[in-house]
Structure 1
Amino acid sequence: MYIDGGHHGNEHLGTELAFLVAEFYIEGWVDGDAEAVEVLQNTELHIMIMLNADGNDLDSRWNMNQVDLNRNYDHHWTTDETASGDGPFSEAETRNNADYMAEWMTDADLYVTMHTGTWILAYPWGFTGEMPSDWEMFEHIRDTIHETIDADLPVRNANAGIYPTHGTSRDYGYGVMGFPTFTFETDDEQFLLGTVQSLSDRLSVELEVMRYLISNVWYWRARLNVTSMEVTPGGQIELHVANLGHASTENASIQYVFEESMEVLWQSENFTVNASNTSDVTLDASNLSLQPGGTFALHYQKRVIDASTFVHQPIDEKMVEMVEPDKSGWLPAPGLLLVLLAAFGAAGAANGWPKRRFSGTIEPDDGENSSVDGTTHDAHL
């Protein structure tokens, strides 16, 4: 997962929240804290504490070029936004941040960007009031935070919860990179002279929310698990699959592959598995033929958003049952067929079929009144 802070140089509490998250896990690892150790043993945690160093030095929202970095990303960028730059990624800070995501964060399952202003945890979109494709996952997160951490923290669509925005890192992370994203805005009170409240106390709710998001990052995608699979080559596949994650997937399929070379020999039509749900799926396998060394695998997107990455996941052979195809076809049973032919023949004989000429050797029934010299004979057929 990825965290960044300090897009706006004068939003100090947002930058401090990024620092607090890093401090919690670094010190927790040193102290042997069970939560921190488990996270760091199972999760890659990337934190950029301060993106806009020049703005921070100048106590300015903008960078040294007087550009608002959080309006400069290549996602619905527009000159209608104040100080959005000469074009998308015109600034080194945003270009480098996007390049870092593209190089190191393609498999990320969470991105949180820290700000200061209206107290809110805001998810996409900012450029439109429409709900994101993975609204089920975002609403699950909202409900859990309200039930277990703080019922008063607003968790909602950024367009409605803050104000319409274009070219933001949050919408870029979701719309282009395909991972779940949040803007976490701390309250709008900056540091006051003479304050004695510690940052950990001041931002205790925000830190608890971040710990929840990070500890449960495994769930912020679809995670399919095949519990049974009946395969009839040339027929169909009957599949029972569970989604253990809190995101749906609409582009799942079964592939038959050579695992070592990743050559796809066959692929089914797509099917959907909703978040935290199970599905019984029947797939057409009429053009499936088995090959020595071939295996079955799941192929699906982590989330509904189009930019989400695909997963290739081999299916446990113990879950796969092979069924011999029914080769009887449409013909009637042999006994019935013989009965029909016999009846047809009897009817023909009764009506007097014409004589036919043929050449060949006749094998006698009893050795009498028959010629075996190969000459032409008259016979009823």
Structure 2
Amino acid sequence: MPSVLQEPRPRSTHATTYATRHSLPAVWMRAGTSKGLYIHRQHLPLDQAEWTPILLRAIGSQDSDPRQLNGIGGATSTTSKIAVVSMSKRAGIDVEYTFVQCAVGVAKLDFTGNCGNIASGVAPFAVDEGLVAVKPGQREVSVRIFNTNTSSTLISTISVDPSGHFLEDGDYRIPGVMSPGSAVQMAFTKPAGSMTGALLPSKSPTNILQVPSKGRDASIPILVSAVDAANPFIFVDSSSMPDWYHQAGSLSQESLSFIEAIRRRGAVLMGLARDKEQASLTRGTPKIAVLSPSGAKDGRTEVTSFSMGKVHSSLQLTGAVCLASAACTEGTVAHRIRQKGAAHDKLTRRDSPHDITIQTVPLRHAGGDMDVDVRLASNGTIEDVTVFRTARRLFEGKVYYLM
């Protein structure tokens, strides 16, 4: 049978321009219950405005692909995070870090707010990368970290091995992570007013938000507390939510839309947005969570948190800091719920040499239980909030992207 000859395709008369492959040195880490890229500040352009196309391509959201197939993101908000780290010239600060949240299914980065889970990987990264010196024989290092998003300081204390690297192995467990690890202590110093300048931006411990419900004539009054500590949060009293919300569950699309409607009104209440339309453009700030008593004898507060329009698999670390701060603030939704817990008085102790009261706030979220320590001055000012995480370095190398 004679062969069939194919006519060659005509060449274009115009020159074709191809994208060039670039590489970005980076480390991929699991920090707390999140995963993210850790990048040296020096490997990115000086102008932060030029980071966006690079980081979107590295994570895989440049094409608004919800699966992020052309990047290393994990198709969830908790696995699409970035930490940009550098040595600091600020007095009393070891390293600075900028947190970047990459949207999933949308070509957008969010530079507002901080992520406590990703922050818990900064000290291990800084030590292993030589940004923080470890003295011979030293077994524990405290790293002072300045978060550029919120202009706040964190003190992270980690264990190091005989070679001066972060000691990953240990027996400390956190809810949401199956394997134990070495405890990473995170102290958020003076966390109040991270973005708004005040712990209670509305100047009231509680507010009523009138929120319209789809297919229903009247708006529904929702009891909330607008609190800004480590990150701004809207805490919703579960008992004020409509019956259909409790029946449908937090995962239903109607419920998620209703939560977003509350969040947008909360953003305006906190002064973080001019109106609801502007609030819709930044879904990561403020964050939102629904609170209720757990009913347990240990007096835990049950929290359902949301992230970028979806139910969070556990609780943001900054959410735990903010919620614990709210629970220690008279009159807030969190404080009222905590007061109903039988274990409240047993979880308060004094640090008499410094005239400091230490209150342990027990929380329960989808991933499990966690306790948060809040140090309060005699005038009620929140001195610091301490939580514990674990972290692991997963791989290091170069992320490739086309641009």
TM bucket (normalised to shorter chain) is: under 0.3
Provide TM-score, normalisation by structure 2: 0.27
Provide TM-score, normalisation by structure 1: 0.28
Higher helix share: 1
* Highest RCO, 1 vs 2 (Cα 8 Å, sep ≥ 6): 2
